[in-house]
A and B are shown apart, each in its own frame.
Chain A
């Protein structure tokens, strides 16, 4: 079956003529109630609303309960469930080979903040165009509940054992490394998560979304700072978020002074409605301050922490031809015979540099 041109009668379709069901994947095998399942639902909805073309998406992940989820959404997109902590290197390779693909990566806090922290950091440094979602539950779900490096100070395991090590704040780290799109959200807040996802789809470089996603089996007890109850209690959204894609020619009326607008390069717009304070997500220093304050006050701030739609991306750096490298015909990638002859002459005459050793 090719992409359906006529959707089943009665079902609403998006701008590319697909129904929401066209963005489904196979049935989840995660625990019922797992936060990751809610994020899967959010991704399906956001992808449908954004009108992503499934064949232009590549789903990528590492290893963990979270990393299994790409099988559960966008069943008509190619997927690559890689090895533990190494999804960023796969993303980087795919991005070089086919610049037209939208890379949608899902990882866990173990996958990202421990084994994969090196690759995570280097992907951000390079600003590889990709959406990188961390489904953050503070534990290694798949290996049965050990602490991860994002577990908060004092948070306990089911056994009662408390974490005494400093947590890695992936958003702070991403901002530090120059990431142009950094958000934090909660799997239980779809109203916030969906517009963030859609905005991330429109971002040109690496977009990091750290989504607190409770593990109902190993971290939903009292004492866990990433349980549903704890997150709901401490969640402090920075703003209400609306996202208007470029293809929806909507004029939005907000009372002056209540809303900030961020323009994305493709013409889409993010509207951030002020809550308690007026938070400016384009101000790097504010972003740092708010993250540190939140830690001191044991608050979970969520929303768009930092955005800079005009960063220098990996593709800008590589200056590749417009067509994906993977599609170039032989004539374009094998220089003509005279080039080899020219090079061979230099090695016959001795004008080419020879011998790469020391001395």
Chain B
């Protein structure tokens, strides 16, 4: 048997709300603690308890952490989905099953390992409810023993998570041990092995929403408004947790922040615009349905030039769509949100680290550009667990943009709220509370001139709109620039953004093995940097990889470089699952007119 070391995927099929999350995280962490890179993806239904849920752990010592299309080890804990779960496993795979669960026989080249979980639980506790929760730890122990995960690491990971609850810790530890013991007494030769490496030292495991929450706190957010919606709620809930802990004075009970749970997303963006107008750093987080509701206020913020930071943790649309699945479907809408001629700066974080960093960048740019700004994350980055270097403490001071205070007003002649005094399209603003009457102005979404006076004058309108266009044109250089990975001699160019990054990185290596040399450019913001235009023109064939049906970034790119239209194609993935490398390879090879030589099998 050819052994497969540190390169396989474990797929755990359980029931939502059954307590499997702790078990899966312990499994994930214990492998990471052995120095082997991992990633964990939670595939869960739009349901609180009772429906099927899956958790996939990818173990890969080369550091590829995108989802893998093929699963090697399956853990069967859900009778309802057992038959289809088992049927999805390929030759050579291992199926660990609770022996109480019945499913049809599998071909002989799959190995089934049945575990009498109920019996193993008997000596651990009499409490039926507890048994149901703790039984998940049995599969952790079984998998641990069969795959060679050191028991001490599992115990350490368990302790880290449950150390504060000694009773729960003891029960769970007993179940882990029962699993290990059973598998030791009933050994099975399988190819999949975890072997100790030194590739994860000092790394953290975190989800993007938590990273964004931390980044926002360290960026000095003071006002937060929100309306709950998956998959964005955990961002705000994490943020509230950190703010309460670190930004409320223990002695006085007073906070350097304010949070409001708004009545809907229209109110949430209204709160954020009001607070930013008054000089606070204010943000909200939502998902597709929320930004649909915010459209009118976005146009207001564009035209009246008010900063706002809005995180859109994208999920599958249109409409309610698949609320707990991932997608990059909001790019086109975000760019032109609202009626009339508008366009908005958009940040496209591709990692948890960027979720942390862009939280600060978002405030700096929204205030610098005096515009609502969107950060398009997605469910995959936002809610899944990603390995990362620890985040670096921000050393840069914040950029509060062009604000004239009382002293500054004293030194100027006339205050022109909407005048292009610096020639960069960005005007100066003042904040309410300013004592200097020279700085007073009236903010409105109706026609206004340079002095913020109401006007329907056609020339003043055109001047204003042209300046706004110029402002966004200049924003190309202010936004985070693309990340470029060039390959000497490449004649294929790959373009991607956001969570697609990890699959594309891996796909690029796989393509190289197939003899396709590809350079790669990762877009990190809209408006597009000029270097994206150059990249699209440079390569004979360019593939824009994205997780939506319509190729939204490609479409945007081609409106800016129409001359490249014939050479720029889409490679798309939009079934709601996180994109995987093989689908990118397949898509590129199909365009290249090459047959796919190696599919999703090993």
B residues in contact with A292, CB < 8 Å = none
B56 to chain A, nearest CB (A): 12
Interface size on B, residues (CB 8 A): 109
B160 touches A351 (CB 8 A): yes
Verify if A90 is at the interface (C-beta below 8 Å from B): yes
Q: List 20 A-B contacts (CB under 8 A).
A: A2-B437, A54-B440, A55-B432, A71-B442, A78-B443, A80-B277, A86-B266, A86-B297, A94-B278, A119-B263, A320-B256, A321-B254, A325-B257, A332-B256, A333-B281, A334-B394, A347-B206, A354-B25, A354-B207, A355-B42
Verify if B454 is at the interface (C-beta below 8 Å from A): yes
The interface centre, meaning the residue of A77, A81, A101, A347 with most chain B CB atoms within 10 A of its CB, is A347
Interface bits B23-36 vs A (CB < 8 Å: 1, else 0): 01100010000000
| CB within 8 Å: A-B pair count | 293
A148 to chain B, nearest CB (A): 20
Choose among B20, B157, B444 the residue that contacts A359 (Cβ–Cβ < 8 A).
B20
| CA A359 to CA B246, docked complex, whole Å | 29
Q: When A325-B258, A355-B385, A356-B209 are in contact, do A91 and B274 touch as well, CB less than 8 Å? A: yes
Verify if A83 is at the interface (C-beta below 8 Å from B): yes
Within 8 A of A (CB), among B44-59: 44-45, 47-48, 53, 55
B452 to chain A, nearest CB (A): 9
Within 8 A of A (CB), among B393-426: 393-394, 397-398, 410
Verify if A311 is at the interface (C-beta below 8 Å from B): no
Interface bits A89-121 vs B (CB < 8 Å: 1, else 0): 111111111101100000000000000001100
B278 touches A97 (CB 8 A): yes
A122 touches B267 (CB 8 A): yes
Interface bits B55-95 vs A (CB < 8 Å: 1, else 0): 10000000000000000000000000000000000000000
Within 8 A of A (CB), among B113-171: 157, 160-161, 163
Q: When A93-B271, A326-B278, A359-B42 are in contact, do A354 and B255 touch as well, CB less than 8 Å? A: no
B262 touches A89 (CB 8 A): yes
A359 touches B441 (CB 8 A): no
A residues in contact with B223, CB < 8 Å = 93, 96-97, 325
A residues in contact with B248, CB < 8 Å = 319
| CA A141 to CA B390, docked complex, whole Å | 59
Selected interface stretch from B197-205, B492-500, B582-590: B197-205
Verify if A348 is at the interface (C-beta below 8 Å from B): yes
| CA A184 to CA B341, docked complex, whole Å | 42
B432 touches A118 (CB 8 A): no
B residues in contact with A277, CB < 8 Å = none
Choose among B21, B202, B264, B438 the residue that contacts A357 (Cβ–Cβ < 8 A).
B21
Verify if B433 is at the interface (C-beta below 8 Å from A): yes
Selected interface stretch from A196-204, A294-302, A336-344: A336-344
A residues in contact with B281, CB < 8 Å = 333
Verify if A145 is at the interface (C-beta below 8 Å from B): no
Verify if A178 is at the interface (C-beta below 8 Å from B): no
| CA A91 to CA B237, docked complex, whole Å | 24
Within 8 A of A (CB), among B185-222: 202-207, 209-210, 214, 217-222
Q: When A318-B258, A354-B210 are in contact, do A101 and B275 touch as well, CB less than 8 Å? A: no
Q: When A119-B267, A322-B254, A347-B206 are in contact, do A94 and B442 touch as well, CB less than 8 Å? A: no
A101 touches B433 (CB 8 A): yes
B residues in contact with A122, CB < 8 Å = 262-263, 267
B445 touches A357 (CB 8 A): no
A residues in contact with B398, CB < 8 Å = 330
B residues in contact with A3, CB < 8 Å = 435-437
Q: Which 8 A-B pairs have the closest CB atoms?
A: A93-B274, A89-B270, A326-B279, A356-B234, A97-B280, A358-B44, A78-B432, A97-B278
Verify if A70 is at the interface (C-beta below 8 Å from B): yes
Choose among B264, B435, B437 the residue that contacts A118 (Cβ–Cβ < 8 A).
B264
Interface bits B265-304 vs A (CB < 8 Å: 1, else 0): 0111111111111111110000000000000110010000
| CA A325 to CA B257, docked complex, whole Å | 7
Choose among B160, B209, B383 the residue that contacts A349 (Cβ–Cβ < 8 A).
B160
A2 touches B433 (CB 8 A): no
In the complex, which residue of chain A has the Cβ closest to the Cβ of B156? A350
A residues in contact with B255, CB < 8 Å = 318-321
Choose among B48, B161, B260 the residue that contacts A92 (Cβ–Cβ < 8 A).
B260
B207 touches A93 (CB 8 A): no
Verify if B384 is at the interface (C-beta below 8 Å from A): yes
Within 8 A of B (CB), among A208-247: none
Chain B's interface: helix, strand, loop or mixed, by majority?
mixed
Verify if A41 is at the interface (C-beta below 8 Å from B): no
| CA A125 to CA B214, docked complex, whole Å | 30
B residues in contact with A339, CB < 8 Å = 246
Verify if B40 is at the interface (C-beta below 8 Å from A): yes
Verify if A8 is at the interface (C-beta below 8 Å from B): no
List 10 additional A-B contacts (Cβ < 8 Å) besides A91-B274, A325-B256: A54-B437, A75-B440, A82-B300, A89-B266, A93-B223, A335-B247, A339-B246, A349-B160, A350-B25, A359-B14
B residues in contact with A341, CB < 8 Å = 390, 393
A residues in contact with B20, CB < 8 Å = 359
Verify if A126 is at the interface (C-beta below 8 Å from B): yes
A348 touches B209 (CB 8 A): no
A335 touches B324 (CB 8 A): no
Within 8 A of A (CB), among B217-255: 217-223, 225, 231, 233-234, 237-238, 242, 246-249, 252-255
A320 to chain B, nearest CB (A): 6
A residues in contact with B103, CB < 8 Å = none
Interface bits A305-337 vs B (CB < 8 Å: 1, else 0): 000000000000011111011111010111101
A101 touches B278 (CB 8 A): yes
| CA A75 to CA B451, docked complex, whole Å | 13
B residues in contact with A56, CB < 8 Å = 433
B residues in contact with A54, CB < 8 Å = 437, 440
In the complex, which residue of chain A has the Cβ closest to the Cβ of B18? A359
Verify if B446 is at the interface (C-beta below 8 Å from A): yes
A357 touches B260 (CB 8 A): no
| CA A320 to CA B157, docked complex, whole Å | 38
A359 touches B24 (CB 8 A): yes
Q: When A97-B222, A350-B160, A356-B209 are in contact, do A325 and B280 touch as well, CB less than 8 Å? A: yes
B99 to chain A, nearest CB (A): 22
Interface bits B558-582 vs A (CB < 8 Å: 1, else 0): 0000000000000000000000000
A359 touches B297 (CB 8 A): no
Verify if A174 is at the interface (C-beta below 8 Å from B): no
In the complex, which residue of chain A has the Cβ closest to the Cβ of B30? A350
Choose among A79, A89, A320, A340 the residue that contacts B274 (Cβ–Cβ < 8 A).
A89
A81 touches B445 (CB 8 A): yes
A residues in contact with B210, CB < 8 Å = 352, 354, 356
B163 to chain A, nearest CB (A): 7
B residues in contact with A289, CB < 8 Å = none
Verify if B391 is at the interface (C-beta below 8 Å from A): yes
| CA A26 to CA B203, docked complex, whole Å | 61
